[in-house]
Amino acid sequence: MTLANELGLYEDMRLLISKSFNNLKDNLEILGTDKLPAKTINGHQMVLAKWDGKWHLINVTVYKRRAEGEEKFEIMDKIDSMSITPENILYKKLELPAMAENQNLSKLVVPGIGKDRYDDLGIHNWEAAMQYGISIPREKFEALIKD
């Protein structure tokens, strides 16, 4: 992200933090509080990048095999027929195709998206990552459970 930012490769770019839906569900009682979870809430960092006027979600740690010997990062402009925009995916549950085999990370909830290309959301250590993960308002998460 830093290199792409410095080279100006995209019209806009943002850090996206996601957390395991199942791990958040297991910690429902502390969502929206300042308490830290007893165990790590797994998650995944991705990049939202905008080019040609369209947002894309780039899963930069998972490769998707296209053809024999050819791989690429998972890049999506839609999830479940929903267009990718910062507003559409904040506090939403995402199911990433390339992570389907990983029970802990196949369903992710997005509690945070940087406001611009320089916003790292203040996540500089484990505690900050865990606190950010549980910062999702409890009522927003409960709505996801019903879906």
pLDDT tens-digit profile of 60-97? 766 555 556 666 678 889 987 889 999 999 999 988 87
- What is the per-residue pLDDT across 26-55, written as a single tens digit (0 to 9) for each? 999 999 988 989 888 998 888 999 999 999
What is the CB neighbour count within 10 angstroms for residue 89?
Answer: 22
Residue in the block written with tokens 């830093």:
2
Report the pLDDT averaged over residues 124-140: 90
What is the CB neighbour count within 10 angstroms for residue 39?
Answer: 10
For the chain, the average pLDDT equals 86
Using the Cα atoms of residue 144, residue 58, residue 20 and residue 116 in order, give the sign of their dihedral.
negative
For residue 100, what pLDDT is reported? Answer: 73
Cross-strand pairs, 64: 72
Each domain of the chain, given as residue ranges in start order, spans 2-146
Distance between CA atoms of 92 and 18, rounded to whole angstroms?
10
For residue 22, what pLDDT is reported? Answer: 93
Structure-block tokens of residue 32:
């929206």
Report the pLDDT averaged over residues 9-16: 90
- 138 class by beta-carbon count within 10 Å (0-12 exposed, 13-18 middle, 19+ buried): middle
Report the pLDDT averaged over residues 118-131: 90
CB within 8 A of 56, min separation 6: which ones? Answer: 48, 49, 50, 75, 76, 77, 84
For residue 17, what pLDDT is reported? Answer: 92
Predicted confidence (pLDDT) at residue 99 exceeds the cutoff of 80: no
The share of the chain scoring above pLDDT 70, in percent, equals 91
